[in-house]
Amino acid sequence: MTALSYFCKMKLLDGKLSSQAVKDDLIVQVKELKQNGKRPPHLACILVGNNGASETYVASKVKNCAEVGFQSTLIRYNDEISEEELLIAINKLNNDEAVDGILVQLPLPKQISEQKVIESISPTKDVDGFHPINAGKLVQGFPTFIPATPYGMILMFEYFDIDTKGKNAVVIGRSNIVGRPMSVLLSGNYKYGNCTVTICHSHTKNLEEICSKADILVTAIGNPGMIKANMIKQGAVVIDVGITRVEDATALRGFRIKGDVDFDDVATKASALTPVPGGVGLMTIAGLLKNTMYAYLHKDQ
Ligand code: GUN
């Protein structure tokens, strides 16, 4: 707990604690598999080009696989790879019995259709949950891969036992990666769902007014510090999905990661708040690891 959150009696939703709990469970599962003579789950990550943020995310995915005892393979291509070559590489992984999960880090260079790539991944290995078959299953409430960031947020609600039933939830952002699936999960008939959900986006009018009625606010805008205390209902749970690199000459790497939420301001009003970094980002990895285990356990279905 930071001095500020103690002072404000605000609960810090510390992703280090909740992600470690998920990883500890997976470590036990992997140990049991190995004791029974089975191989561990195997995630294959494809990284095209050398976008700085993508490099960091993929490196973290690979590192976290090792931490829980999963096998991982990182396959790199330069940003001139053709769509056809990439689709052939994915098809090889689809047919590789020793690979359980496939993740192609987005964004991709402009000569490659992201949608074609997403649809080329076998739905049974689609640990991102982006394939239309899996997205459709999620909407209809059938078991499937849940996109890692929304999954991570739900796992965080579970860890901190955040009551969601009957609450007004506002999700800012309608992407297929975060906002859309999160709105589906929060409105679903699940223990950490059953909310009345409003989705906001770039054409939303009266954003401040809508946010100020939210018991649960999930923000995935990518505009650092935009969410201020005057937009928050007293006692709201605020989940910050923003991860923007902001130049900072005093920082080691020349930038800092900033969330959508003005943390110190919003902490004076929220009952619970995620930090950035150290919040949802860590839970995204936890969600991906859970999906990789799910792919391993359900590969014949
Ligand atoms: N780029 C940003 N977020 C994600 C993600 O969750 N999965 C993949 N594959 N790429 C991303």
- Catalytic residue, chosen from 14, 23, 61, 125, is 61
CATH code where residue 214 lies: 3.40.50.720
Structure confidence at residue 3 (pLDDT)? 56
95 domain-assigned = yes
Cα of 246 vs centre of ligand 1, distance in Å, is 20
38 is catalytic: no
pLDDT band at 282 (very low <50, low <70, confident <90, very high): very high
Q: Which residue puts its alpha carbon closest to atom 2 of ligand 1?
A: 106
CATH code where residue 71 lies: 3.40.50.10860
Final residue of a domain: which of 122, 157, 187?
122
User: By the 8 A CB rule, do 125 and 102 touch?
Assistant: yes
Averaged pLDDT for residues 244-266? 96
274 domain-assigned = yes
Same domain flag for 186 and 104: no
Please give the residue range of the domain that contains residue 213. Answer: 147-281
7 domain-assigned = no
- Catalytic residue, chosen from 14, 23, 100, 105, is 105
Which residues have CB under 8 Å from 126's CB, separation 6+? Answer: 101, 102, 118, 134, 145
pLDDT at 116 over 70: yes
pLDDT band at 84 (very low <50, low <70, confident <90, very high): very high
Same domain flag for 93 and 169: no
128 is catalytic: yes
Structure confidence at residue 257 (pLDDT)? 96
Averaged pLDDT for residues 136-165? 98
106 lines ligand 1 (CB under 6 A): yes
Report the amino acid identity of residue 137.
Answer: K
Same domain flag for 204 and 102: no
142 domain-assigned = no
pLDDT at 300 over 90: no
The count of domains in the chain is 2
300 domain-assigned = no
124 lines ligand 1 (CB under 6 A): no
Q: What is the DSSP letter of 170?
A: E
Bridge partners of 239, per DSSP, are 218
- In ligand 1, the atom with minimum distance to the C-alpha of 54 is 1
Distance of CA 73 to the CA centre of its chain: 20
299 domain-assigned = no
Length of the chain, please? 301
- The pLDDT tens digits for 216-225 are 999 999 999 9
Same domain flag for 154 and 269: yes
- The pLDDT tens digits for 1-57 are 555 555 568 999 999 999 999 999 999 999 999 999 999 999 999 999 999 999 999
Range 159-165, long-range pairs (CB < 8 A, 24+ positions): 159/17, 159/18, 159/21, 159/22, 160/11, 160/13, 160/18, 160/272, 162/192, 162/216, 162/237, 162/272, 164/192, 164/193, 164/194, 164/195, 164/216, 165/193, 165/194, 165/195
- Catalytic residue, chosen from 128, 240, 260, 262, is 128
Same domain flag for 205 and 275: yes
177 lines ligand 1 (CB under 6 A): yes
